[in-house]
Chains A and B, each alone.
Chain A
Amino acid sequence: MSDVGFVAVGYGVTAVALAGYAWRVLARGRRLSALVPQERRRWM
């Protein structure tokens, strides 16, 4: 694999992993928010 190939794999895997994680956290937050009473949803 060329240098550009290693760079592409590194950036590609990182982007997919971080975007996937962010998506999962946001989706879970949305799902849980619907289950928790409104007055207990705020965290601070």
Chain B
Amino acid sequence: MTTSAQVETPRRRRGRNERLATTSSRFTRALGVIALLMGASALLLALVISPPEVTQGDAVRLFYLHVPLAVAGGYLGVGLLAVGSIGYLWKRTTFWDLLAASAAELALIFTALTLLTGSLWGRPVWGTYWEWDPRLTLTAVLFVLLIGYRAMRTASVDPQLRARRSAVIGLLAAADVPLIRMSVDWWRGLHQTATLNPLNPSLDGMMLFTFFWSMVSFAVLFLWLLVHRFRVAWLEEQLADRALDEAIAQRRAEAPQTP
């Protein structure tokens, strides 16, 4: 006996098709809601609840934005770019290439925002928007390398060549991150040293909590964006494959038939 649940009516089929016609899933919807709630609470903490700093005043609120952006872009984004690049050079599969490309795009956006928010924070605190300080300069180099990575992905036509060359640039960008991390210890500059030392935290109370909450919020947001961006990249790949299949079929059809 056929129940109504088993019958696929045109309406049900259309509904299922519409549900699938998106890069969302139950997981990403849940993650998106969590990211939204965490982001809203991080904003409340950073802009309203946490107190102004003794010397920096309200400018310290940019710290809760600038550092999480830098960590998400530099460590998560470029870290995953490195993982994807190594994975591709080792396994030569599309998955790793698309993971690297998706992470690189997000790393580029987060690094751009890191430079912007750092500049906005620097003006009231240091008295200048920009200084050729080692950390700032190396972060700018990372930004340029990520633009190079993006340019490589749009410039090359051959997918394998593109993936191979992109992976090499991705690894170059990744090599810059430890230099950024250590630059404040190795060279003298304007930028402060590491904000948090686990053995001797210089922040406490509400400021420390706000900082950690912002870090986790940006990490969740990054993950949510990454999953969607990866799925878009996957769809682009499927379309490119289909276009190639159709072009080959067309050429075969046009070729003269041998008796």
Contact = CB atoms under 8 A, between A and B. Distances in A.
Interface stretch (B54-62, B130-138, B169-177, B194-202): B54-62
Q: How would you classify the secondary structure of chain B's contact residues: helix, strand, loop or mixed?
A: helix
Given A32-B235, A33-B21, A22 B225 contact: yes
Contacts of A26: 22-24, 228
B21 A10 contact: no
Given A3-B59, A6-B62, A43-B231, A14 B21 contact: no
Interface of B: 17, 20-24, 43, 47, 56-59, 61-62, 65-66, 69, 109, 112-113, 116-117, 120-121, 123-124, 221, 225, 228-232, 234-236, 238-239, 242
Interface in A1-44: 1, 3-4, 6-7, 9-11, 13-14, 17-18, 21-22, 25-26, 28-30, 32-38, 40-43
B69 A14 contact: yes
A31 B112 CA distance: 27
Contacts, number: 99
A9 to B, nearest CB: 6
Contact of B117 (A10, A37, A40): A10
Contact of A38 (B17, B47, B120): B17
A36 to B, nearest CB: 5
28 contacts: A3-B57, A4-B58, A6-B121, A6-B123, A6-B124, A7-B58, A7-B62, A9-B120, A10-B62, A10-B65, A14-B69, A17-B109, A17-B112, A18-B109, A25-B229, A26-B228, A28-B232, A29-B228, A29-B231, A30-B23, A32-B236, A33-B22, A35-B239, A36-B242, A38-B20, A40-B238, A41-B238, A42-B20
